[in-house]
Structure 1
């Protein structure tokens, strides 16, 4: 049963890429296809990142421990779309003009934050395998992967500073991220209180 669920989620995560490919083939990406692709890959990076961050709070609330088995795949898909987002900027937008890219990173804060978020996301993707968990040790691996919350904050800030007029979506993503933080803090305090009660 879980295998079918895993495959369904895996295919669902590919749908945005398939839709983009179809749009490019059918010339349906609007007047500025590069901007469309950049926005779409960025949107799906942030959405999948938030879904990944939602796995642990949902497991804590519902007791559905099988959700954890989807977290790695969701996180790697978030990294995949982040890579496409960055590659679109480096290749289609800047044509690998190193000088122009460096100036952009320095002068445009939303690009600085976005680039920083990707750099933090990179070691999380590299250490996502079972082998790396064993090499780092469980505690060290967990400490490292807490950086995903920093990536989430930077991702929301990147989008917020990018949007100039309609802040509806950045505000929505910020509220979702804040809610996920609140649920985790609530659960941590509840767990500490429970352990304190057992020791008294």
Structure 2
């Protein structure tokens, strides 16, 4: 694991941003060239949302992986979070601009469809996280920065619930995602202090 961590330290964070930016462009190209099947908009919408959730989960797993396995991905945690936010934003824009398109219908869907309400709530929670994912904000906010970024936990949970609620009928994949999210959140619960037996 030490050798792997040494190798990871040599990888610049900008490479992750570049790869992250390339994925939506590739999806768009696939959609324009009939590479996404008969409903390219739905495929793009689903793919961006699922990749965003995967990145949120990866970001949530960074600390447990370091503590329990020894794999150090701390260098990439900010990039993972920022890319996840832009994937959620792209997911939302595809839904707004290419799928629904009618402003009155958009608001009606947000109000009437619980999975959209939950998804929108998760997106709103991610906005302050994305805006403060820079060194200036870390210095400016001080200890409050860590407290603010605990909103990641809620955003990730809402993303998992959004996926489960979105699925029609019983589907195992969304439940697996939600289970992983819950397991990672459970690892962050404070451990009970062991009772001291009086002498």
Q: Same fold (TM over 0.5)?
A: yes
Q: How many residues align?
A: 189
Alpha-carbon RMSD: 2.2
In 1, distance between residues paired with 2:65 and 2:126?
22
Q: Show the counterpart of 1:79.
A: 85
1:60-85 deviation line (CA, Å, top 9, x unaligned): 21344x42111000000000100100
Q: Show the counterpart of 1:56.
A: 63
Residues 24-43 of structure 1 mapped to structure 2, 5 A cutoff: 24-43=31-50
Deviation (angstroms), 1:11: 4.5
Deviant stretches of 4+, over 3 Å: 5-16
Residues 14-29 of structure 1 mapped to structure 2, 5 A cutoff: 14=21, 16-29=23-36
Structure 1 residue ranges without an equivalent (≥5): none
Q: Show the counterpart of 2:99.
A: 93
When residues 166 and 11 of structure 1 are mapped into structure 2, their CA distance, relative to the original with a 3 A threshold, is farther
Deviation (angstroms), 1:50: 0.5
> Any conservation in 1 of the 2:157–2:182 contact (CA below 8 Å)?
no
1:85-143 deviation line (CA, Å, top 9, x unaligned): 01111111122x33211111111111111111100000000011110111111x21111
1:119 pairs with one of 124, 141, 151: 124
Q: Show the counterpart of 2:3.
A: none
> Any conservation in 1 of the 2:118–2:158 contact (CA below 8 Å)?
yes
The answer to whether residue 191 in structure 2 is matched with residue 164 in structure 1 is no
1:134-171 deviation line (CA, Å, top 9, x unaligned): 1111x211111101110011101111111012421111
In 1, distance between residues paired with 2:170 and 2:54?
18
- Relative to its length, the structure with more helix (as a share) is 1
